[in-house]
Structure 1
Amino acid sequence: MINGRLAECPNYPNCVSSQDKDSEHSIDSIPYTLSAKETQRQLESIIQAMPRSRIVSSQTGYVHAEFSSLLLGFVDDVELAIDAKENLIHFRSAARLGRSDFGVNRRRMEQIRQQFQQH
């Protein structure tokens, strides 16, 4: 996080962020109605249940996780920031290596969104 915002995506198609203005990288934030604490607990539970995931750090209102690809073990970084004022979950998912992620990060975040909304 930089000045309370998630980092912008690079100019490559290997990242999505709910705080990015560029249509190639932009994705909608996730609204929530639970408390911020319960929202974070649910997000962490969803991430921990996903294959090849690991929560690197968790602080009040912020979670950083890593996801490894099945075949070559490439690592993607996922950041979730809970905005208690707006009741929104902002997130960023980006590949560490390569110019393209073949849509993996966008699909992952849509999967997290879907699972969160089903709870």
Structure 2
Amino acid sequence: MKKSCLAILVCLGLASCSAAVGQGLENGRLRPCPSSPNCVSSEVSDTDLAPFELPDKDGWERLRLAIVSLGGSIEREEAGYLHATFRSRLFGFVDDLECRLDGRTIQVRSASRLGWWDMGANRRRVELLRKTMAAETLK
């Protein structure tokens, strides 16, 4: 029994180290979410996830600071695009957060690399990021 549990934990750990599949923009937009409920995107018309509105020119920098303050690691950044990763505490599963600057708006996509359902973790992360950025605006 202990060996089986250890083997499962090792496999989960190795799987969580996998690279992001298909990150980046497609035709100037964030990639669409898969059919599984482990992804949220502000660029999908049938979701209630709103993009972030930028009140001033420092919004992109506040986004970067908020991601890092929430435990994210910025993996790639280029003009108007940012890719960050977050790891779950228990098993180290990796979630990808992608942001795209769209005028005075930041479009956002957050997705789990593994599994079918994330128990709402990606949506909660995006909303916490929104609150963190709003708190930075008030300072």
Under a length normalisation based on structure 1, what TM-score does the superposition of the two structures give? 0.89
1:34 aligns with 2:34: no
Deviations 1:21-64 (A, max 9, x none): 233xx4111111212xx22111111111112x210011121110
Residue 106 (1) aligns with residue 123 (2): yes
**Structure 2 match to 1:96:** 113
SS of the residue aligned with 2:108?
strand
Looking at structure 2, the residues matched to 117 and 83 of structure 1 have their Cα atoms a distance apart, in angstroms, of 18
**What runs of 5+ residues in structure 2 fail to find an aligned partner?**
1-24
Q: Percent identity?
A: 40
* Structure 1 runs (4+) greater than 6 angstroms displaced: none
Number of residues of Structure 1 aligned to a counterpart in Structure 2 = 112
Structure 1 unaligned residues grouped into runs of 5+? none
CA deviation digits over 1:3-37, x for unaligned, max 9?
111011100110000001233xx4111111212xx
Matched, 1:13 2:37: yes
Tell me how far apart the structure 2 counterparts of residues 41 and 60 of structure 1 sit (CA, whole Å).
12
Q: Deviations over 1:54-97 (max 9, x none)?
A: 1001112111000000001100000011112xx11100000000
Structure showing greater Rg: 2
Match of 2:10 in 1: none
User: Quick one: distance in 1 between partners of 2:77 and 2:118?
Assistant: 25
RMSD of equivalent CA atoms: 1.0
SS at 2:26 equivalent: coil
